[in-house]
Structure 1
């Protein structure tokens, strides 16, 4: 039987992980007003290029913002498992670093999503929250280092 002793401060790591669940809920619930404004019915995931191009300016803008909100949410979903795994594994050896990086990741995912839907051309507002990506890469590297440390112990 294997016994894992969690380091002091690992509760902060778990708090950072739980924060990602709230971010996910926020991003998912944020889709409803954008979907209604764009008049995109379920089960359609996005407004098509043709729909956006042929719509009135107001409808086109609403569809564009819906697509941006949807893309921000999908991007979160694509990166969430790796971020959570990175936090949990990094936290085994470096709990405070994992917790801080996890908090940076969560906060910047919200900033990214809000910026993406601010109406800027090409969704460039998402760059305001780009620190999520640095935190993400550092969590992946931290997980690799923690795995190395544990395997070499």
Structure 2
């Protein structure tokens, strides 16, 4: 099977760039929270017995950490699924980033359950991308 990358794949690449910019924004947010809540390096998390605002910092840190934990899986499915369904994958990827924004903002309130109010929808976008990748896989196997 000959394989061509559509010009629409540029939208997928654009979502990759947006994802990196979003990650940098969250990183800066964690650095600002580190200063605000007095959590010195190299501590990854604040200790509640030592810092009365530990929970606030830890929620900001955890929101970013959770994004990083899912990042390789998101990018793999975005890039692979986008080969067959570039516009759909780009749209799902954009939705994922928007939902992740709300997830991070909700988590950053210091009330962990707030992350799911609007941000929990990121799973729907992610599984849509998995569907795009499965569709690509089936097409490639069927073309053998």
Are 2:74 and 1:91 equivalent residues in the alignment? no
Superposition RMSD on alpha carbons, in Å?
1.7
The two structures have a TM-score, normalised by structure 2, of 0.90
- Aligned to 1:143, the other structure's residue is in SS state helix
Alignment-derived partner of residue 102 in structure 1: 93
Q: What is the deviation of 1:3?
A: 6.4
1:126 lines up with 2:125 in the alignment: no
Q: TM-score, normalised by structure 1?
A: 0.85
For the Cα contact (< 8 Å) 1:34–1:69, is it kept in 2? yes
- Say whether the 8 Å CA contact 1:105–1:136 is kept in structure 2: yes
Give the distance between the partners of 2:125 and 2:6, measured in 1 at CA.
21
Asked if the contact 1:116/1:126 (under 8 Å) is kept, the reply is: yes
Partner of 2:108: 117
Count of residues paired in the alignment: 142
Gaps of 5+ in 1: none
Q: Check whether the contact 1:89–1:147 (CA below 8 A) recurs between aligned residues.
A: no
Unmatched segments (≥5 aa) in structure 2:
none
**Ranges of 4+ aligned residues in structure 1 off by more than 3 Å:** none
Counterparts of 1:1-153 in structure 2 under 5 Å? 4-51=3-50, 55=51, 60=52, 62-120=53-111, 123-127=112-116, 128-153=118-143
